[in-house]
Structure 1
Amino acid sequence: MKFLTQDEARRICEKAIAFSKADECRVNLSGEREGNIRYANNAVSTAGLAEDTQLNVTVSFGKRVGSATINEFDDKSLEKAVRRAEDVARLAPENPEFLPNVTAQQYKATPTWNKNTAAIDPDYRAEVAFRSIEAARKANLKAAGFFDDTTSFQAHANSNGVFGYQELTSLGFTVTTRTEDGRGSGWAKRYANDAGKFDARAASAIAIEKALRSVDAKALEPGRYTVILEPDATSDMLNFMFGAFDARNADEGRSFLSKKGGGNRVGEKLYDEQVNVWADPWNPDVPVLPWDSASMLARERADIIKNGVVAGMDYTRYWAQKQGKRAIGRHGNVIMAGGTKSTEELIASTKKGVLVTRTWYIRMVDPQSQLLTGLTRDGTFYIENGKIKHPIKNFRFNESPVAMLNNIEELGKPVVVGGTNASFQMLLPAMKVRDFNFTSLSDAV
């Protein structure tokens, strides 16, 4: 893949727009190089490198919209794609919620590109797998994992003169280790923008320790317990909740943030005062594009929850206009304030409780209360007098993240828990929470 520079991307975008005879034209141009390596049963199974560059052009005649996508950028191909988009637009029904393209935007660059990650090559990926497999073998365990890294660029432009260009890098790693007899299982996940902050051995060591300690799990009666939830144990649950911070859904009565009689609950205290959450595209640990790809609006730092009070919600351009609100680019990350303690320090301050490494298979039960159900896995432990006493069988839980964030006893140090630069990222703390509702036991490890 030829990695297009800002000037090269601008020229291609401007050419495509110049070919258009429609009322408006918008172009998105992106390129990506993604490498990966996968291993299981202590052996590499697949490795690969995929590259692609593509351009999407969207045009409109009045409220009729059409799009076309290509991966060839000579003049003939660009014009053909534009004509195809125009043909589609002429046949399309009118969109009653159509809005014209945005006008001038100020995009302040975010630190989404890192030279260490961009330099990753097949030898680096092989070394990641080797280190993880070697550590598992030494502990007489079986390891399965996946490592992937991405270097990319994104550019967009429209016929109103808006243009943006950004380069991005990211990496992700997951590893599961199990005992030979399958009775013990451990897991770890890492994401990073900077490969210099990633350590395959350290991540694998955590999964190995969890696997060894989780053998011979004992049954603990289901019920409500004080729990220490590692960041990866809460990330998927909180994803459900923050996905509901949509003003339209709330205003139309389809959300836990809907107010009786209409409207939403911005300004209401729904959480413990310790809960402070915001979005910040320029955060160096979880940087994201400085614009929202759907609307092309510039992103801003924005409070979501402040001292337990709902401080802000996402508005599409259409809904913001309809409600008389100001629209900004939708958030690309979520950052939650925490404390300074490690998970180990939270354990040390717990008289009786349960440590949860990970939750999975989470499903919505009730959108109006955000009640979720799911399972723990890959290392669940009973805590007594500040120490892990023994492993316990996994649980099914029925719990709402809204209730969970009202029952916080203490917060740990925030860590990066997920996403890639081009999508959604989170910086979350470990949490000590009281009265977490475990409803039944699960025999799975």
Structure 2
Amino acid sequence: MSWLRPQDVVEKALAASTADAQVTYVVESSEANLRWAGNSLTTNGSMRSRQVVVISFVDGGAGMATGTVARTGSPDVAELVAASEQAARDAGPAEDAVPLVAEPPPGAGEWDADAAETSIGVFTDVAPALAEAFGEARGREELLFGYAEHAMATTYLGTSTGLRLRHDQPAGRVELNGKSADMSRSVWAGVGTRDFADVSVADLAGEVARKLAWSRRRVELPAARYETLLPPSAISDLMIYAYWTMEARDADEGRNVYAKAGGGNRVGERLAALPLTLRSDPFAPGLEACPFQVVGGSSGSASVFDNGMATPAVDWISGGVLTNLIRPRAWALNTTAPATAAVDNLLLESPGATATQDEMVAATERGLLLTTLWYIREVDPQTLLLTGLTRDGVFLVEGGEVTGAVNNFRFNESPVDLLGRITEAGRTERTLPREWSDWFTRAAMPTVRVPDFNMSSVSPAS
């Protein structure tokens, strides 16, 4: 078929339906990137793509069943709809069946507008700033590696209940690695952005240069529990995992860390010693995310029946107390608790906190300052014990100053347990989660102080 407008694809799919109900959405995407290595730009490129998803709902008498089929490019819409309906007929009744959403959420975009696009032009100010940073790095006999990426995804969602919803989602990031000429020292800085207007390559390069200077002195330390400052990127990776596992059903059925001993969940229980708030808000400035659900397949945290459901701001932890869990409408009906949708951003805040990372370092008699974490894996869902490695700079702080770099470690920590042991949180700032940046770039976190972070073994990783 010809390349239809995404809105027309949605309308054509809905018109072709013979099922009891249907949800169709089209995601129109464009991407641009720059990559560099050894103080030189190496590649740049751009691409465009389209995904079409049809979800059919068929009541075969035993209950409503669903079938989802997705295609990329310009598929035959009639074939796609037929395949989705056959998948629904072949499936058993869905346990999360509820009536489809019919009430439009606030904040839905203009349906008839064209899809937003990005291009290589988004890097107009980035490329010359990189050239300057490369020259400065060469002067210090250091090497810069990294990339900048920007994506724009426009989603058009239509349903047989009459919803016609549209959302533009920009997402960008810059990651900058600095290495010594002999590759023995490696550090990192990164930032997430919507449009690159707020990205300072000079600031990132300055951060890398400072960390490389710190790392000229090497100190070997054994595995132990250390007072540790986790910068925004590191704590964001841990808090995102805590957020991803906030499924109410798993908690209610005793399968995750938010389950209460003896039954039920821990909503209302204090998790953090400080009055910390962990929240999501689709309209948070600089972290704007889709204000409605777009779901291709049901899980414990989302349901295809909830497509188009509003995703308003929500406090997951408020004043240190667990306040909400992620709860699709079907599970909410089972438990009489309110339905609560996940939002694609996350903020951790400490009321009134103003301390910068440098000020927190200055207040540290002896401890560690991390850069990032990586290779994070779950060990025990009941406690949310995670393991992973430190990466690209672990620094020793003595007498309020960074005095050198130490070896990397493997850590073992539960982010939920960690909340109860944080003794200080600084000011919240936008950050780039290093481990999860392929999936989650919209986060704002403070630097936090933990008096006894568990470095369980020494790691040979550089």
Number of the residue aligned with 1:41: 38
Matches within 5 A, 1:395-414: 395-414=409-428
Query: Is 1:299 aligned to residue 311 of structure 2?
Result: yes
Structure-1 residue corresponding to 2:211 = 210
In the TM superposition, residue 387 of structure 1 has moved relative to its aligned partner by 1.1
Question: Of residues 28, 31, 35 in structure 1, which corresponds to 2:28?
Answer: 31
Give yes or no for contact 2:274–2:423 (8 Å, CA) kept in 1.
no
1:39 is displaced (CA, Å) by 2.0
- Give the 3-state SS of the residue equivalent to 1:196 in structure 2: coil
Q: Find the counterpart in structure 1 of residue 453 from structure 2.
A: 436
Number of the residue aligned with 2:223: 222
**Inter-CA distance 347–117: structure 2 relative to 1 (3 Å threshold):** farther
Determine the C-alpha separation between the residues in 1 that align with 2:326 and 2:86. 33
Q: Which moved more, 1:64-73 or 1:32-41?
A: 64-73
Match of 1:393 among 400, 407, 410: 407
Change over 3 Å in CA distance of 1:270–1:160 after alignment to 2 = same
Task: State the partner residue of 1:340.
Answer: 354
| Structure 1 alignment gaps of length 5 or more | none
What pairs with 1:94-109 in structure 2 (closer than 5 Å)? 94-109=93-108
Match of 1:59 in 2: 56
Q: Which region of structure 1 is more displaced relative to structure 2, 280-289 or 388-397?
A: 388-397
The whole-number CA distance in structure 1 between the counterparts of 2:340 and 2:417 is: 29
For 1:302, give the aligned amino acid: V
Q: CA deviation at 1:421?
A: 12
Specify the SS of the correspondent of 1:84: helix
What whole-Å deviation, never above 9, does each CA across 1:41-63 have from its counterpart, x for those lacking one?
33334322110123211112112
Aligned residue number for residue 199 of structure 1: 200
2:149 aligned residue: 148
Mapped to 1, the partners of 2:385 and 2:202 lie a distance apart of 37
Q: Contact (CA 8 Å) 1:118, 1:169: kept in 2 or not?
A: no
CA pair 400-343 structure 1, distance change in 2 beyond 3 A: same
TM, length-normalised to structure 1: 0.90
The answer as to whether partners of 1:118 and 1:151 remain within 8 angstroms in 2 is: no
Q: In structure 1, the residue corresponding to 2:23 is in which secondary structure?
A: strand
Q: SS at the partner of 2:260?
A: coil
Q: Give the 3-state SS of the residue equivalent to 2:68 in structure 1.
A: strand
Note the alpha carbon deviations across 1:110-146, whole angstroms, 9 max, x for none. 9xxxx99778356556446534433422321122101
- Give the Cα separation in 2 of the matches to 1:116 and 1:51: 9
Alpha-carbon distance change, 197 to 3 in structure 1, aligned in 2, over 3 angstroms? farther
Deviates more, 1:84-93 or 1:228-237: 84-93
- Normalised by the size of structure 2, how large is the TM-score? 0.87
Amino acid of the residue matched to residue 388 of structure 1? V
The match for 1:330 among 318, 342, 363 is 342
1:68 counterpart residue number: 69
Q: Could you tell me whether the CA contact under 8 Å between 1:277 and 1:337 is conserved in 2?
A: yes
Contact 1:171 1:193 in 2 (8 A): yes
Query: Structure 2: which 5+ residue stretches go unaligned?
Result: 110-115, 296-305
Query: What is the CA deviation profile of residues 164-194 of structure 1, one whole-angstrom value per residue up to 9, with x for unaligned ones?
Result: 1112222111111110122221101110113
3-state SS, counterpart of residue 219 of structure 2: coil
Q: Does 1:317 align with 2:321?
A: no
- Render the CA deviation track for 1:345-404: whole Å, top value 9, x for unaligned: 111111221111111122222222222222222121111221112222222222222232
Percent identity at matched positions?
Answer: 29
Q: Cα distance, 1:149 vs. partner?
A: 0.5
Q: CA deviation at 1:283?
A: 0.4
Q: Which moved more, 1:400-409 or 1:141-150?
A: 400-409
Q: How does 1:171-190 map to 2 (within 5 A)?
A: 171-190=172-191
Aligned pair in 2 of structure 1 residues 71, 277: CA closer, same or farther (>3 Å)? closer
Give the distance between the partners of 2:310 and 2:119, measured in 1 at CA.
25
Distance of 1:71 and 1:222 partners within structure 2: 49
Determine the C-alpha separation between the residues in 2 that align with 1:435 and 1:173. 32
Change (3 A) 1:179 1:51: same
Equivalences for residues 111-190 of structure 1 within 5 A: 120-121=121-122, 126-127=127-128, 129-190=130-191
Aligned to 1:14: 11
Q: 1:117 to 1:385 in 2, by over 3 A?
A: farther
Contact 2:216 2:404 in 1 (8 A): no
Helix, strand or coil: the match of 2:172? strand
* Residues 221 and 55 of structure 1: CA distance in aligned 2, closer, same or farther (over 3 Å): closer
Q: Per the alignment, do residues 116 and 156 of structure 1 end up closer, same or farther by CA in structure 2, a change over 3 Å counting? A: closer
